[in-house]
Structure 1
Amino acid sequence: MVRKLRRLPKIVNRLYKKDEFYHQPGTIPGTIFIHEDSPPPIIFLIDYNQTNFIREQIATPEECIPYLEMESISWVDVQGLGSQDILQRLGHVFELHPLVLEDIVNVPERPKTEDYEDQLLFIARMVVPKEISCGFHSEQVSLILGKNYLLTVQEEPEHDCFEAVRSRIEKNKGIIRKQGADYLAYAVLDAIIDGFFPVLELYGERIEELEEEVIVKPTPQTLQNIYQIRRELLQLRRAIWPQRDAINSLIRDAPDLISEEVRIYLRDCYDHTVQVMDMVETYRELASGLMDVYLSAVSNKMNEIMKVLTVVSTIFIPLTFVAGIYGMNFNTEKSPYNMPELDWYWGYPLCLAVMAAIALGLLFFFWQRGWLQNSVTIKRN
Structure 2
Amino acid sequence: MTRKLLKKRGKKIGAAPGTLIHVGEKSEAAPRIHVFDYDQEHLDQREYPDAASCLALRDTDTISWINVEGLHQVKVIETLGQGFGLHPLVLEDILNTDQRPKVEIYDDYIFIVVKMLIYDTEHEGVRTEQVSFVLGNNFVISFQECHGDVFDGVRERLRSGRRIRFLGPDYLTYALIDAIVDSHFFILEKIGDEIEQLEDELLDDPSPESLNQIHRLRREMILLRKSVWPLRELISELGREETPMVSRETAVFLRDVYDHCIQVIDTVETFRDLLGGMLDLYMSNVSNRMNEIMKVLTLIATIFIPLTFIAGVYGMNFEYMPELAWKWAYPAVWGIMIGLGIGLVFFFKKKNWL
Could you say which TM-score interval applies, normalised by the shorter chain?
A: 0.7 to 0.9
Deviation readout 1:156-193 (Å, 9 max, x if unpaired): 11x311112112222345x2223221111101001111
TM-score norm. by structure 2 comes to 0.85
| Counterpart residue number, 2:175 | 187
**Using a 3 Å threshold, how does the CA distance of structure 1 residues 78 and 349 change in structure 2: closer, same or farther?**
same
- The separation in 1 between residues aligned to 2:75 and 2:314, in whole angstroms, is 97
8 Å CA contact 2:97, 2:130 repeated in 1: yes
Q: Flag as ranges the 4+ runs of structure 1 deviating above 6 A.
A: 328-332
Secondary structure of the 2:240 match is helix
Correspondence for 1:230 among 194, 218, 237: 218
**Using a 3 Å threshold, how does the CA distance of structure 1 residues 358 and 257 change in structure 2: closer, same or farther?**
same
- The separation in 1 between residues aligned to 2:90 and 2:271, in whole angstroms, is 35
> Among the aligned pairs, what percent are the same residue?
42
- The separation in 1 between residues aligned to 2:318 and 2:100, in whole angstroms, is 89
Correspondence for 1:208 among 182, 193, 196: 196
- The separation in 2 between residues aligned to 1:266 and 1:50, in whole angstroms, is 22
**Using a 3 Å threshold, how does the CA distance of structure 1 residues 176 and 366 change in structure 2: closer, same or farther?**
farther
**Using a 3 Å threshold, how does the CA distance of structure 1 residues 15 and 91 change in structure 2: closer, same or farther?**
closer
Indicate whether 1:32 and 2:14 are aligned.
Answer: no
TM-score norm. by structure 1 comes to 0.80
| Counterpart residue number, 2:166 | 178
Deviation at 1:142, TM superposition (A): 0.6
After the TM superposition, which residues 7-156 of structure 1 pair with which residues of structure 2 at under 5 Å, given as runs? 17-20=6-9, 23-25=12-14, 27=16, 29-35=17-23, 37-38=26-27, 39-65=29-55, 67-156=57-146
Task: For structure 1, list consecutive stretches of 5 or more residues without a partner in the other structure.
Answer: 1-13, 373-381
After the TM superposition, which residues 264-343 of structure 1 pair with which residues of structure 2 at under 5 Å, given as runs? 264-323=252-311, 338-339=322-323, 342-343=326-327
**Using a 3 Å threshold, how does the CA distance of structure 1 residues 350 and 49 change in structure 2: closer, same or farther?**
farther
- The separation in 2 between residues aligned to 1:52 and 1:294, in whole angstroms, is 59
Deviation at 1:18, TM superposition (A): 3.5
Deviation at 1:283, TM superposition (A): 2.2
Deviation at 1:122, TM superposition (A): 0.8
**Using a 3 Å threshold, how does the CA distance of structure 1 residues 323 and 65 change in structure 2: closer, same or farther?**
closer
Deviation at 1:47, TM superposition (A): 2.2
Indicate whether 1:199 and 2:187 are aligned.
Answer: yes
Indicate whether 1:169 and 2:158 are aligned.
Answer: yes
8 Å CA contact 1:128, 1:160 repeated in 2: yes
Deviation at 1:131, TM superposition (A): 1.9
Secondary structure of the 2:34 match is strand
- The separation in 2 between residues aligned to 1:306 and 1:215, in whole angstroms, is 21
Deviation at 1:130, TM superposition (A): 0.8
8 Å CA contact 2:114, 2:130 repeated in 1: yes
**Using a 3 Å threshold, how does the CA distance of structure 1 residues 18 and 148 change in structure 2: closer, same or farther?**
closer
**Using a 3 Å threshold, how does the CA distance of structure 1 residues 20 and 241 change in structure 2: closer, same or farther?**
farther
- The separation in 1 between residues aligned to 2:324 and 2:154, in whole angstroms, is 99
Task: For structure 2, list consecutive stretches of 5 or more residues without a partner in the other structure.
Answer: none
- The separation in 2 between residues aligned to 1:21 and 1:237, in whole angstroms, is 26
Instruction: Tell me the matched-pair count.
Output: 350
Secondary structure of the 1:233 match is helix
**Using a 3 Å threshold, how does the CA distance of structure 1 residues 53 and 349 change in structure 2: closer, same or farther?**
farther
Secondary structure of the 1:143 match is strand
**Using a 3 Å threshold, how does the CA distance of structure 1 residues 327 and 84 change in structure 2: closer, same or farther?**
closer
8 Å CA contact 1:108, 1:140 repeated in 2: yes
8 Å CA contact 2:6, 2:98 repeated in 1: no
**Using a 3 Å threshold, how does the CA distance of structure 1 residues 21 and 330 change in structure 2: closer, same or farther?**
closer
Secondary structure of the 2:239 match is helix
Deviation at 1:20, TM superposition (A): 4.8
